[in-house]
Amino acid sequence: MPIASIDPATGQTLKVFDSLSDKQLEEKLQRANETFRNYQRTSFAERAPLMLRAAEILEEEKNDFARLMTTEMGKPIRAAVQEVEKCVWVCRYYAENAGKHLADEIIETNATKSYVHFQPLGVVLAVMPWNFPFWQVFRFAAPALMVGNVGLLKHASNVPQCALAIEAIFRRAGFPEGAFQTLLMGSDLVQRVLEDTRVAAATLTGSEPAGRSVAGIAGKQIKKTVLELGGSDPFIVMPSADLGEAVATAVKARTINNGQSCIAAKRFIVHTQIYDEFEKRFVESMKALRVGDPMNEATDIGPLATEQILKDLEEQVKVSVAAGAKLLTGGQTWKADDQLARGNFYEPTVLADIPKAAPAYRDEIFGPVASLFRVHNIDDAIDLANATPFGLGAAAWTNDVAERDRLIDELEAGCVFINGMVASDPRLPFGGVKHSGYGRELGEFGIREFVNIKTVWIKAQQSKEAGSVE
Question: 19, 24, 187, 333: which one contacts ligand NAP (CB under 6 A)?
Answer: 187
Q: Does 207 bind ligand NAP (CB under 6 A)?
A: yes
The span of 59-67, 90-98, 203-211, 287-295 binding ligand NAP (CB under 6 A) equals 203-211
The span of 15-23, 121-129, 295-303, 379-387 binding ligand NAP (CB under 6 A) equals 121-129
Q: How far is the CB of 366 from ligand NAP (least distance, A)?
A: 6
Measured N-to-C along each axis, helices 160-172 and 44-60 cross at an angle, to the nearest 10 degrees, of 130
Residue nearer to ligand NAP on the CB measure, 330 or 439? 439
Q: Does 86 bind ligand NAP (CB under 6 A)?
A: no
Question: 161, 205, 320, 398: which one contacts ligand NAP (CB under 6 A)?
Answer: 205
Residue nearer to ligand NAP on the CB measure, 91 or 422? 422
Residue nearer to ligand NAP on the CB measure, 117 or 212? 212
Question: 156, 246, 253, 265: which one contacts ligand NAP (CB under 6 A)?
Answer: 156
Provide the β-strand partners of residue 337.
Answer: none
Residue nearer to ligand NAP on the CB measure, 202 or 246? 202
Question: 88, 215, 229, 247: which one contacts ligand NAP (CB under 6 A)?
Answer: 229
Q: Are strands 415-418 and 180-182 parallel, antiparallel or unpaired?
A: unpaired
User: By rule CB under 6 A, what count of residues binds ligand NAP?
Assistant: 29
Q: How far is the CB of 396 from ligand NAP (least distance, A)?
A: 19
Residue nearer to ligand NAP on the CB measure, 58 or 190? 190
Question: 80, 123, 127, 200: which one contacts ligand NAP (CB under 6 A)?
Answer: 127
Q: How far apart (Å, rounded) are the C-alpha atoms in residues 334 and 356? A: 28
Planar angle of CA 281, 282, 283, nearest 5 degrees: 95
Q: Does 214 bind ligand NAP (CB under 6 A)?
A: yes
Q: How far is the CB of 439 from ligand NAP (least distance, A)?
A: 10
Q: Does 228 bind ligand NAP (CB under 6 A)?
A: yes
The span of 55-63, 167-175, 205-213, 374-382 binding ligand NAP (CB under 6 A) equals 205-213
Q: Does 154 bind ligand NAP (CB under 6 A)?
A: yes
Q: What is the 3-state secondary structure (H, E, C) of the chain?
A: CCEEEECCCCCCEEEEECCCCHHHHHHHHHHHHHHHHHHCCCCHHHHHHHHHHHHHHHHHCHHHHHHHHHHHHCCCHHHHHHHHHHHHHHHHHHHHHHHHHCCCEECCCCCCEEEEEEEECCEEEEECCCCCCCHHHHHHHHHHHHHCCEEEEECCCCCHHHHHHHHHHHHHCCCCCCCEEECCCCHHHHHHHHHCCCEEEEEEECCHHHHHHHHHHHHHHCCEEEEECCCCEEEEECCCCCHHHHHHHHHHHHHHHHHCCCCCEEEEEEEHHHHHHHHHHHHHHHHCCCECCCCCCCCCECCCCCHHHHHHHHHHHHHHHHCCCEEEECCCECCCCCCCCCCCCECCEEEECCCCCCHHHHCCCCCCEEEEEEECCHHHHHHHHHCCCEECEEEEECCCHHHHHHHHHHCCCCEEEECCCCCCCCCCCECCEECCEECCECHHHHHCCCEEEEEEEECCCCCCCCCCCC
Residues 409-448, interacting with ligand NAP (CB under 6 A): 432
**AA identity, residue 134:** F
Q: Which residue is nearest to ligand NAP (CB)?
A: 206
Residues 375-414, interacting with ligand NAP (CB under 6 A): 392
N- to C-terminal Cα separation, the chain? 58
Q: How far is the CB of 257 from ligand NAP (least distance, A)?
A: 9
Residues 246-275, interacting with ligand NAP (CB under 6 A): 262
| CA dist 284 → 236, 247, 248, 332 (Å) | 19, 10, 11, 17
Question: 131, 258, 320, 388: which one contacts ligand NAP (CB under 6 A)?
Answer: 131
Q: How far is the CB of 296 from ligand NAP (least distance, A)?
A: 25
Q: How far is the CB of 74 from ligand NAP (least distance, A)?
A: 13
The span of 77-85, 206-214, 399-407, 443-451 binding ligand NAP (CB under 6 A) equals 206-214
Question: 7, 363, 364, 449: which one contacts ligand NAP (CB under 6 A)?
Answer: 364
Q: Does 130 bind ligand NAP (CB under 6 A)?
A: yes
Q: Which amino acids are annotated catalytic?
A: 228, 262
- Which positions lie near ligand NAP, rule CB under 6 A? 1, 127-131, 136, 154-157, 186-187, 190, 205-207, 210, 213-214, 228-231, 262, 364, 366, 392, 432
